[in-house]
Structure 1
Amino acid sequence: MMNISVMVGGFIEKNPKMPLEILRNYLNAKALKEVSLSSQKLLTYAKDTVLKKLSIITIVVTTLFDSVNLYRRDDYDALAVTTLASGINLALLICYPTLPVFVVGVLLTIITGIILNEIIDSDVDIYFKKSLLYKTIDFSIFKELFNKEQSKKYQAYYLFETTNKDEELKTISTDGFNNPKKLIDFVAVNYKGKENFFDTALNNELSFLKAAIYGYKLELLDRRRGKKLKNAYNYDVTLWQKTFIKAPAVLVEDTQSKFIFVEDEKTYSLINKSTLVKEDAYYTYDLFNQEYSSLKELNMINHKKASIIVLSPLVELKYEFTYDYREIEYLDAVNFKQSSFTPKDIEELKKFKEKKETDEN
């Protein structure tokens, strides 16, 4: 059920205006054939009463979005509790659709919220669980349910995410060791000759730690703006974009900070700060920064990955995303999330750090 919640939640997140009928068709897809009957039953029940329909739809949609968010944060225990509580609520509404049961469902939701408030990981908690010498001692309900390996106590996520990019280091270990001595030996024995991988891993440790402590981050705005482009017949049409991000004003206004845009993991370009627009306590920036005049040009970036990097005295951040152009008039920046630097990033960014600040304003 958790896997299904995450899958469907991701789909709805990309199609927020999707009607109930499209959701029915999606649940009938071959990949979810085993739940199609129960889904049809749920949708049939949803038509019976206004109260029940609103309650079921609210629970389903809320759970799907919460599931996607918790899954992306690797907070699996909170994901398990959320899915379980929502399943109980749905069962109560479907089997006993009365007002007292609805009230019980509301109380259950409140109690679940209190429990989740205690177990949901903060940004700092998430960082420490992925850091170099963190010992995995927490029992994960999610991993137990799906028979996932929990024996390797020192998993050092940021380290192995970087070293796995080197085939030789990857053959030694891809996901950690059972004791700290083996982990330390892995670094000590293999450091010479692989300095760029281990130094990059350390840089990523510091990047995520500072981001968690200071709370500085880039966020994709949940809104669309229109931009006029030409269609195949040379008529003006509106491209509706969800490609705008916001950045803390303290980072943008720092004269020493730089914003770098990366395309295809090859081209690193300095972003002119004048293209960032001040709004309240933050600045916005359009990730669709290509100077295209027609819709057909969007095919050149469709499904392509790109990144935006922040270099400042306080933090160094990297966020990656993928362009998603669909239905003729929609362009999204999907899977926008903080990511780790690569050895190539570190090498390329040295050029920007060594350059003197140019007049961007």
Structure 2
Amino acid sequence: MASKTHLNANSGKNRQTSSSSANERYSKADEILFSILFPLYSQKKNPNDAYDFILWLIGCIQLFTLAFFRIDMSIYAPSQISKFINLVDLSSLAYVVGKSSIYISIAFCLIPIIVISMELIIASLHRNIITSQPWIIRMMQTIIDIYLRVLFIPSLNMMISTFDYFVVHEIAPDGSQVDRIFWLGLINIRCLYENAIVIVSVVLSIFLLFVILFYNTTIQLFIFNHNQKNGGLFGCSSGWFKGLHTLLLFGIVFCMRELIDLPFYRGIISVGTSGFIIVIVLLKQPFYKFISNYLTILPWSLFGAIRLCAEIGYQFEEALNSITPQIFFLILGFIEKEMASNI
């Protein structure tokens, strides 16, 4: 009897020791993060490849159109090609719509707030939802997936548009220098920082840019379909590449929008990032299927080729004062990309 009591005491002590060691291993922040992400962890077996392909195609088209974005610094407005083709990824929407785009930007700021709030609510009620209404979790996973893969680039573009301004230095009648701030692309519309809506949109956009970068990167790092046989089109063993891809894509969008007066550095960053992603995919093969790795390389090879030829074409256009070289080098970029794809 005494030995049995001693054994129970030892087992209780071992349980307490293992529990305390587990608590030491995982911090409170880790526990909170796990509880928030837990509803997203369970991935569908044999997901629909057509669904993944459609989302991939939409993202491809957005990246393709982003490659054409350009601000003509002689008039502080988008080029004619950029003005219309970049409506697809919304990078030129603010220049077309005008002041009304501030409300569209605020709407895009509300989207991540709604998505994250929805996830937090479902995470807090997960135990009840999983037993009574499991379809809610599946719907939430689909909404977040679409937001991450389809609305990421448009959201970044609309948020950046809220603080996309340029400064004009003017000489007042008394000889003093006066700085006037105008909305980039709309030289007849001044930036009204005393306007409450403008202030709210700028502050909210800058804050949410960091929020969605952290949120999207975290989701891509920890939530992925790791089923090797039945993981779908983009099944993978780790989320490190998706997380890195999100960071680099954020950098590309920011580079294309903000380095408008630094074409050399814009070209180096855009083309260099494209090449870096292609090399990483070729060396590491982050996805299980060959076709998945190929589909990842394809849009970036197209983006890099277009950016390289476009930057060269822009230089010739400025030197010759003609749009013909730009069109020629863009066509050359398409041919170069097609030749690389057929190799």
Pair in the same fold by TM > 0.5: no
Higher helix share: 2
Give TM class, smaller chain: under 0.3
Higher relative contact order (CA 8 A, sep 6+): 2
Q: Greater strand share, 1 or 2?
A: 1
Considering only CA atoms, is the larger Rg found in Structure 1 or Structure 2?
Answer: 2
